[in-house]
Structure 1
Amino acid sequence: MNVPDPSHFQHVRTWIFDLDKTLYPHDTDLYSQIDVRMTAYVSELLSLSREDARRLQKELYRDHGTTLRGLMDLYNIDPDDFLQKVHDIDYSWLKPNPELGRAIRALPGRKFIFTNGNRSHAERAAAQLGVLDHFEDIFDIVAAGLVPKPRRESYETFMARHGIQGPDAVMFEDLARNLRVPKAMGMKTVLVVPRNLESTYSEIWERDLGQEDEVDYVTDDLTRFLRLIVRGPAPADI
């Protein structure tokens, strides 16, 4: 994992964070609940077995950016119905993280959550983490016109809405392919990976082969990474 050089972030005035598996740990049970509900939605919609539904769900995710976008493009589903059903989950699994909150609060400038989920999900998750009040706004899939990351249009809409210039910003994401456009726009990019790269992260549909050039930094500890940006590394960190 990279130790950040604080001088590389002195120009940053906008801090952009993905939500799922970025602001909270990969091993938290939160996203797995959403994943199960998406599979169930596809199964019910198309009368498929769970195995076939899951296979199709991951194909849609890979080919269209999100399962939702694929279902809209191919099956003309109601996105509001989908978003409501898949985010009807138990947030108590998510542990408050006051240290992360303090690290985010210490960052100079504006802070945003930019997610392919919906606002309600992001608000509930961020509130449970204890970090919601540190963000200026949440840019969700509805605000993006249902156009998901990694499509360039989604980033352009976000940046235009909030008056953000790429060279002044940094983006934190758990998927390298979602950093390709930010990197091209001049942002610093940070890939957030699981602690010790748990085996679940190696599932085929979550690999980003050939995307290494989109990433400036990699970290498996977001809180520590943010602290090092603000305070600088101690000798033991170098």
Structure 2
Amino acid sequence: MLKPVSRFQADAIDAWIFDLDNTIYPERSGLFDRVSRRMTLFIQNLFDLDRDRAFALQKDLLNRFGTTASGLMQEHNIDPSDFMAFVHDINLDDIDHDPELDQLLAGLPGTKVIFTNGTERHAEQILNAFGISHHFSGCYDIIRGQFRPKPDPVVYQELLRHHGITPGRAVMVEDMAVNLKPAYDLGITTVWLQQELDLSRSRMDNGHIDFIDYDLKTFLRKVA
């Protein structure tokens, strides 16, 4: 059940679980677009398609399998490691450190981990680019999850075991509402960053959402 962010109790939290892309940084930054364009290019090259047809296939695989990589694995027997290496080969030289986000994360009590359908290497690159990698004690990525993406409930349980997290004292922050359902079912407090560029997701059943905000820094300013 939705609650006002003013009722969020940070001192009751021992572990913070953050998604990476479009969560650590806002969707409006366009940063994930760089990855998405590389996905399209990979599919273009693989199947000799024009950009529009490759993009359509990319989104079809995403919708049916949870991630484009999972779709390529299951339907086309593609080595996901090759795909991941290609799509995460993006230039981050124009990304500056974010002192405010650094300070806000420093104000959060407890352990902080990344939970991503991308790779740990990609997470490290993003966190280093923003100057915030020192806040995170670990990363549970798609490789550790044996390429089972969120929202597969099994990987949430494995994440908790791997990092010794107590669900009732943890919070998960994520931009995709569907990925919060398994966390909620485990007793984790859920925070949905409802990205302003994709408000269509607000039409889904949000009974598994505890708190909603619009970007990470806006949320952390209220609770840190």
Distance in 2 between residues matched to 1:94 and 1:180, nearest whole Å: 32
**1:213 counterpart SS class:** coil
Report how far residue 6 of structure 1 moved. 3.7
Report how far residue 64 of structure 1 moved. 0.9
Distance in 2 between residues matched to 1:225 and 1:27, nearest whole Å: 16
Distance in 1 between residues matched to 2:84 and 2:218, nearest whole Å: 32
Distance in 2 between residues matched to 1:221 and 1:19, nearest whole Å: 12
The aligned residue for residue 80 of structure 2 is 79
Provide TM-score, normalisation by structure 1.
0.87
Report how far residue 209 of structure 1 moved. 4.1
Q: Does 1:27 align with 2:21?
A: no
The aligned residue for residue 219 of structure 1 is 213
**2:157 counterpart SS class:** helix
1:4 aligned partner, one-letter code? S
CA contact (8 A) 1:170 1:188 kept: yes
Aligned positions of 1:100-115 closer than 5 A: 100-115=101-116
The aligned residue for residue 176 of structure 1 is 177
Q: Does 1:4 align with 2:3?
A: no
CA contact (8 A) 2:184 2:190 kept: yes
Report how far residue 123 of structure 1 moved. 0.3
2:117 aligned partner, one-letter code? N
Distance in 2 between residues matched to 1:169 and 1:36, nearest whole Å: 34
Report how far residue 228 of structure 1 moved. 2.2
Distance in 1 between residues matched to 2:52 and 2:202, nearest whole Å: 23
Residues 104-141 of structure 1 show CA distances to partners (whole Å, capped at 9, x for unaligned) of: 11111110011111111100100111110001111111
Aligned positions of 1:40-119 closer than 5 A: 40-119=41-120
CA contact (8 A) 1:39 1:53 kept: yes
The aligned residue for residue 148 of structure 2 is 147
**1:4 counterpart SS class:** helix
Report how far residue 74 of structure 1 moved. 0.5
Report how far residue 208 of structure 1 moved. 6.3
Flag structure 2 segments of 5+ consecutive residues without an equivalent.
none
Change over 3 Å in CA distance of 1:93–1:193 after alignment to 2: farther
CA contact (8 A) 2:171 2:188 kept: yes
Residues 172-229 of structure 1 show CA distances to partners (whole Å, capped at 9, x for unaligned) of: 00000000100111011111133xx23xx25x7xx36423112111112422322322
The aligned residue for residue 236 of structure 1 is none
Q: How many residues matched?
A: 222
Report how far residue 48 of structure 1 moved. 2.2
CA contact (8 A) 2:40 2:51 kept: yes
**1:27 counterpart SS class:** helix
**1:148 counterpart SS class:** coil
Report how far residue 95 of structure 1 moved. 3.2
Flag structure 1 segments of 5+ consecutive residues without an equivalent.
231-238
Report how far residue 63 of structure 1 moved. 1.3
RMSD between superposed Cα atoms in Å: 1.8
Distance in 2 between residues matched to 1:19 and 1:2, nearest whole Å: 24
CA contact (8 A) 1:4 1:217 kept: no
1:226 aligned partner, one-letter code? L
Distance in 2 between residues matched to 1:119 and 1:38, nearest whole Å: 18
The aligned residue for residue 234 of structure 1 is none
**1:95 counterpart SS class:** coil
